[in-house]
Amino acid sequence: MPRNLADDAWLQQFKPELDKRRDFVLKRRRDLRKLPFDWHEYFGLHKNKDKTWSFREWLPNAERVALIGSFNDWNENDPDFQMKRAPGGVWEIKLPQHKINHLDTYGIKVFWNGGEGFRIPATANRVVRQKTQDSQYGVAFHAQVWEPRVKYRWKHQAPKHLNPIIYEAHVGMAQEKEGVGTYNEFTEKILPRIARAGYNTIQLMGIQQHPFYGSFGYHVSSFFAPCDLFGTPDDLKKLVDTAHGLGLKVVMDIVHSHAVKNEIEGIGFQDGTEYLYCHAGQRGWHPAWDSRCFDYGKDATCRFLLSNCKYWLEVFRFDGFRFDGVTSMLYHDHGLFRTFNSYEDYFSGNLDLDAFAYLALANDLIHEIDPNAWTFAEDVSGLPGLAAPIPQGGAAFDFRLAMGVTDLWFKLTDIPDEHWDLYRLWYELINRRQDERTVAYLECHDQAMVGGQSFIFKLIGIDIYTQMHVGSKSLAVDRGIALHKMARLITLATAGHGYLNFMGNEFGHPEWIDFPREGNNWSYHHARRQWSLRDNDELRFKPLADFDQQMLSTITNNREFFNHVPELIWLDQDAKIIVFKRNNLVFAFNFHPTQSQPQFQVRFPEPAQFTPILDTDSELFNGFGRIGHDWTAKTSEKDGNHVLNLYLPCRTALVLSKS
């Protein structure tokens, strides 16, 4: 279990700052908890028990508001749909039930001093795009009434797991066809693959409604609406429910770090002002993302976002969240063009306490609603305490992502492997705070985004197009396949408390990710997953997937594995050897491109017998089968030591289980 944040001696001089951070969070919690987090239940369109509809919107700067839609021919002057001002900047209306029906489209026309505009309600739970002649993009967005007569009936309880083994996925690009995949296609075709592959958690990207598909879902417009490109809200519920039935937790990639700048579809200018939910002036604009920045110091903003967490947990039964862009939230300068080399960099006055408090309160609420939920922080700065409890001055995340590991792996792909610095590699693999839990990964979606490449594509290059058939004699392919397996294994074997993989990388998906945009002539060619490569027995992708499955089961079947830390036994930079143990498993890696070790000696403090349980060089996994099967190894005494002799071929890793 993680130790206490106070155990870090280097943090002692900053204890007053940590105490200040804690006290600020506790005060914000006292202030905000005076009212329930029910923004989505109070605002928006709701059907009442007395056979009426109620609709409310928070628009303090508005002077007149009309509810318009297909039910009144979009007539902003219809007297029956003029909203009334209520205290606190709230506008509301109550209507007979027959006035509005399921699947009607609607919005609000807002009038303010000097202007007016059509807006999507901030808490709309269903937003659809429709073709139109009136928009320069040929598409208009409207809220849609979602009140089906038959409610979705949940069938399965969420599973419980000790540690996350995460499959990061995007519903739209999960299919092989060139186009946008759907929730139902993902449920029917992809979920079974993920379950069979040995993962226990899915992290879904791009779920919140976003106008531009090419944003990968990171420029959110409607925070309470599932993306309509993939299907209906009930389709998403079925996806989550089915995943639970397969033993998979479902974590949502939630975007609370910024909002899309679009005025009609987004919430940045809801009542004609730029400061309703966001900061006013320059601080309200993200200089790198061209988007709006939330004001986490405003009670209304925090209530809106905290209610959003509650909504996705309760309505769609997600099992937690990966919070995107945490570094951008935490610092007044968004962490841009800044390196974090010492603790002074974290306590220099650049930390946005309001944002830190929001993240802490979000985690507090999430775990109150679902004690089994998992939360993950995407932070590149390494701020101490993100995954520490609030009483210690932390933000109470369950895990933080070990983002330095993947950075180093991709730097190594630019260096011949005979020159790899194994001391540096080992340092990065185990470089994490012992008071916080971390999730490691070789690659996520970021590395393969346009301008990047998948790990195996960087290793193999153009031979991946012509030399991936069974029996090929390409040295580049042999090298890439061997290092792909070894890199994944050592990353998982040294991971702090969990592991993540992006969809398709388990079988060495080639090339890169590029969503349709003007620059690629709106092509979907690189916004899909080529499952046929993985399923083809005549190609060398399938054995990579088989290895990944066996690798995961090797670790997950060892229930106490993540309760132990990796212990280095031997590292030889010249021979390119790393040997370490964790719990009752021994991992031996020979990264040398040409030099095998026929009698490599590993010393142990006591006599032991070992059985091989995973061999990256096995013919089953695209290897050369140099080690063989069905053998055991015993230590022998030599000079007062207990020595194990191992045959370690070049570019091979072995996992041994202590009998």
Q: Which residues are catalytic?
A: 324, 378
Query: Do 429 and 393 touch, CB atoms closer than 8 A?
Result: no
CA separation (Å) from 62 to 83, 374, 507? 11, 39, 54
- Angle value at C-alpha 498, between 496 and 500, nearest 5 degrees: 125
Nearest to 514 by CA among 464, 421, 590, 451: 451
Q: Answer for the pair 351, 385: CB distance below 8 angstroms, yes or no.
A: no
Structural tokens at position 220:
């959110």
| Phi, psi at 351, each rounded to 5° | -70, 130
Residue 430, number of CB atoms within 10 A of its CB:
18
Distance, CA of 566 to CA of 583 (rounded, Å): 8
Q: How far apart are CA 499 and CA 552, in angstroms?
A: 10
CA atoms of 599 and 604, how far apart (whole Å): 16
Which ranges constitute the DSSP H helices of 451-528? Answer: 455-460, 463-466, 475-494
Computed on alpha carbons and rounded to an integer, the radius of gyration of the chain in Å comes to 27
Q: Which residues of 71-81 are buried (b: 16+ CB within 10 A; e: fewer)?
A: bbebebeeeeb
* Contacting residues for 511 by C-beta, under 8 A, at least 6 apart: 448, 453, 454, 457, 526
Q: Is the dihedral of CA 216, 218, 222, 225 positive or negative?
A: positive
CA atoms of 174 and 183, how far apart (whole Å): 10
Cβ atoms of 70 and 107 within 8 Å: the answer is: no
For the four alpha carbons of 20, 26, 29 and 31, in that order, the dihedral sign comes to negative
DSSP assignment, residue 98?
A: G
Nearest CA to 650 among 604, 590, 586? 590
Question: φ, ψ for residue 405 (rounded to 5)?
Answer: -65, -50
**Cα–Cα distance measured from residue 398 to residue 514, given in angstroms and rounded to the nearest whole number:** 31
Distance CA 557, CA 332 (A): 44
